[in-house]
Amino acid sequence: MPKRESRGSGERFQIGEYYLERTHPERGGAWYACRYDTRTGQVSRRSLRERDLEQAKIKLAQLVATAPKTKEGPPDPDQVLTLAILKAYMDGHGSKIASEEAAERAVELFTNYLFHIKQIDATVAFWTPAQQLECARWLRSEFDHAASYIARCFNVMRSAFIDATKMKIRIDAVGNQVEAALMLRAPEIVMREPRIVAELKVPKRTRKRAPLSLDEMAAVLDRCTSPHLFRFAVISLTTWARPQAVIDFDPATQVDWRAAAIDLAPPEWIPTNKHRPRLPMTACLAGWLDAWAKEDVERDAADLASGKALRERGLLVYKRRRVATVKQAMRRIGAELGLGGFSQKRFRNFMADQTRTLFRMVLREQRSLMLGHTVKEGSETTDYYESGDPWALADVALATDCIVALLAERTERPLFAVETLLNRDQLEAIGARVMPKALEKSGDDGGRDRDRTCDPYHVKVVLFR
């Protein structure tokens, strides 16, 4: 049996059920967090990866503070440290949300505030409405944060407190999985934007930036010189999809060429509250998908001929690896063009703004469905009976191709892989205020010398072959 040491003086350092122990003290081994399980009669251990005793004590205290209490049940809010709950939230649910960076910043601000008022050991019960208001005042005076941003920070606190009351599988201080809640109930977080505005007497800043013009978006597209950035931009413009849906897009499994439709939800996608709709295929996207498929086949053939390993599979690939995000690249392009706040999300904002402005007959409901938003009108039960035909959004698809055609008149690079002609009558039918220069020339034969895309709703977007 190896020698074990609880402490140099022979005394055991213990916090509740957990204590420190070190195997082979003569070798200066690392300290372990330990707990004796009376049910199994065994000791569970977890290495703290720390050889210094004082540092090991700190790490044990941190682990115990965030560990669920299984014997006596969840503690009251006045028995749980605020920072422990916030850390447990970020280690768990907070690490899986899209706004993880914003949540981390909110936790950092709350930590700084507790240091500022010398209440780093404040419990959850500390956050009374009066204390929340004082923290909001400090955030305003120290960082000049807007009421909307302060409210978002408190939304993180609210989510963390509510998550801590949920009974679910958690990790205790020695690494075992247990089913428990971290605290019994959550105090109410009252700091929402209207109250912050009223209490702090600050102006309510507008949330919406000025919409991008056609010329500005054309400049962005010309700056997308890397193939993966251009592909991201084209897919974003033609599908109005959220950035992650564009990153995940796989034509092999999400494109139905027979129906000329795409499904933004991959087969393995786990549904969230962000809906991913089925959409009609635009002429612009159809042409590019065909061209990109040929490019990728030629690229793989060249790699095999030269003896190189094949790049990772995917539509968006950079430096031979599949792209996980284009956030920083898009922000850099926006900064270079002087477009404040430009990000990868602005493509869908741009398409919604331009469609609303340029096409009077495209309904708000259609724009909402294209964006993947829930339409509140009518009964949710109706969704069960309706087929969800993507070509119900044919007007939006036509408007999308028209906007891309208007952009193509302003860009240095072509935005269509094949020549696409739009029909003036169809554009007028959806209330187009501006017509692209290249419109279909009506002939006696009705254009029968051309092949159409799948077009059950007679959108009449035609492609030259």
CA distances to 280, 291, 326, 401 from 231, in Å: 18, 11, 11, 16
For residue 446, pLDDT over 70 is answered with: no
State how far the Cα of 450 lies from the Cα of 373, in Å rounded to an integer: 36
Structural domain boundaries of the chain? Answer: 4-66, 77-200, 214-463
Phi, psi of 31 (to 5 degrees): -80, 150
pLDDT tens digits, residue range 78-87?
A: 888 898 889 8
CATH of domain 214-463: 1.10.443.10
For residue 349, pLDDT over 80 is answered with: yes
DSSP label of 276? -
pLDDT tens digits, residue range 181-222?
A: 888 888 999 999 999 999 998 877 655 678 899 999 999 999
For residue 447, pLDDT over 70 is answered with: no
Where do runs of H (alpha helix) occur along 165-213?
Answer: 193-200
pLDDT tens digits, residue range 243-296?
A: 999 999 999 999 999 999 999 998 888 777 788 999 999 999 999 999 999 999
pLDDT tens digits, residue range 149-183?
A: 999 999 999 999 998 898 877 766 666 677 678 88
- Give the pLDDT mean for 425-450: 70
pLDDT at 175: 63
Q: Residue 279: enclosing H or E segment and its boundaries? A: strand 278-280
Cβ 34 vs Cβ 18: under 8 Å: yes
For residue 7, pLDDT over 50 is answered with: no
CA quadruple 84, 89, 91, 94: dihedral sign: negative
- Give the pLDDT mean for 380-408: 81
For residue 400, pLDDT over 70 is answered with: yes
Task: Name the pLDDT band for 420 (thresholds 50, 70, 90).
Answer: confident
pLDDT tens digits, residue range 64-98?
A: 777 777 666 778 888 888 988 898 888 887 667 77
Count CB atoms within 10 A of the CB of residue 273.
Answer: 5
